[in-house]
Amino acid sequence: MSVIVWWLVTVVMVAVHSASAGVVELNWEVEYKLRWPDCKEGIVIAINGEFPGPTIDATAGDTVIVHVTNKLSTEGVVIHWHGIRQNGTPWADGAAGVTQCPINPGETFTYNFIVDKAGTHFYHGHYGMQRSAGLYGMMIVRSPKETLQYDGEFNLLLSDWWHQGSHAQELYLSSRPMRWIGEPQSLLINGRGQFNCSLAAYFNKGGVKECKFKDNDECAPTILRVEPLKVYRLRIASTTALASLNLAVEVSYSY
């Protein structure tokens, strides 16, 4: 009798979850692209042509389904969902050689899991040094009942960037003895940074050409447009491959 009752309770719980939860289904193509992350041309790994990759926006309890097609011609791909507990779906965790084999070139793998914990998360490549090549993006899991009150929100995705290619980085770091690849040439916010630029060069009429940004320049600073007396939420995630960062917000007033 107790077994039957337990089974009925389980069925009811599953039915309630299915009725209240949604499904976020995405189709991704992973491939190399030429971009200018820090005003210097480099090779990035993009998703559907986007660098950083598209933001996943879901609500706690939703099922996320991502069909990932590997369009890299010579290497595998694996994606890890940072901060997602993968209860009951360990095969979707994205740990190469542990929970799954890499997705071979030309093949498609489907990640299917439930996001059960609200918060600001991110995903990133988990094969070789693909994270340092730009295979990452934000993953926002919202609470069904938001307790915070605010007028708008912004995502800040922090990352480190080297001009040296990710394959060379992997070779240096895995060699015996290890060869350090040095500090990153740039730090990026939402995939944008400025190498060899300074505020002095930016505001100097005769300054460095690469530092004279236009709104559509790939390396132009990220601009957050706000209104007076409004409250904004900053969702911050760091996908750095090697660097540890401190983030500060400077406040200045003009009257």
165-217, pLDDT tens digit by residue?
Answer: 888 888 889 899 999 998 999 999 999 998 877 655 555 555 556 566 665 67
Residue 11 neighbours by CB under 8 Å, 6+ apart: none
Residue 6 predicted with pLDDT over 50? no
Q: If we measure between CA atoms, which residue out of 43, 125, 42, 34 comes closest to residue 76? A: 125
100 DSSP assignment:
B
Residue 142 predicted with pLDDT over 90? yes
Say how far residue 193 (Cα) sits from the centre of its chain: 16
**List of domains in the chain:** 21-238 (2.60.40.420)
Structure confidence at residue 216 (pLDDT): 60
Structure confidence at residue 198 (pLDDT): 63
Q: Report pTM.
A: 0.84
Structure confidence at residue 120 (pLDDT): 97
Residue 160 predicted with pLDDT over 60? yes
Range of weakest confidence among 66-80, 195-209, 225-239: 195-209
Interval 61-77 mean pLDDT: 97
Interval 118-146 mean pLDDT: 95
Going by pLDDT thresholds of 50, 70 and 90, the confidence category of residue 94 is very high
CA distance 46 to 130: 11
Going by pLDDT thresholds of 50, 70 and 90, the confidence category of residue 15 is very low
Q: Long-range pairs for 93-97 at CB < 8 Å and ≥24 separation?
A: 94/123, 94/126, 95/126, 96/126, 96/127
CA distance 59 to 74: 36
Structure confidence at residue 172 (pLDDT): 87
Interval 131-154 mean pLDDT: 94
Answer whether 126's CB lies under 8 Å from 29's CB.
no
Interval 2-25 mean pLDDT: 56
The letter for the amino acid at 216 is N
Query: 23 - beta bridge partners?
Result: 63
CA distance 52 to 135: 7
Structure confidence at residue 169 (pLDDT): 87
Query: 44 - beta bridge partners?
Result: 33
Residue 18 predicted with pLDDT over 60? no
Answer whether 114's CB lies under 8 Å from 103's CB.
no
Structure confidence at residue 253 (pLDDT): 66
Interval 90-119 mean pLDDT: 95
Q: What is the mean pLDDT of the chain?
A: 87
Query: Longest C-alpha distance within the chain, in Å?
Result: 84
Going by pLDDT thresholds of 50, 70 and 90, the confidence category of residue 220 is confident
Query: 98 - beta bridge partners?
Result: none
Interval 5-22 mean pLDDT: 50
User: Within 10 Å of residue 42's Cβ, how many Cβ atoms?
Assistant: 20
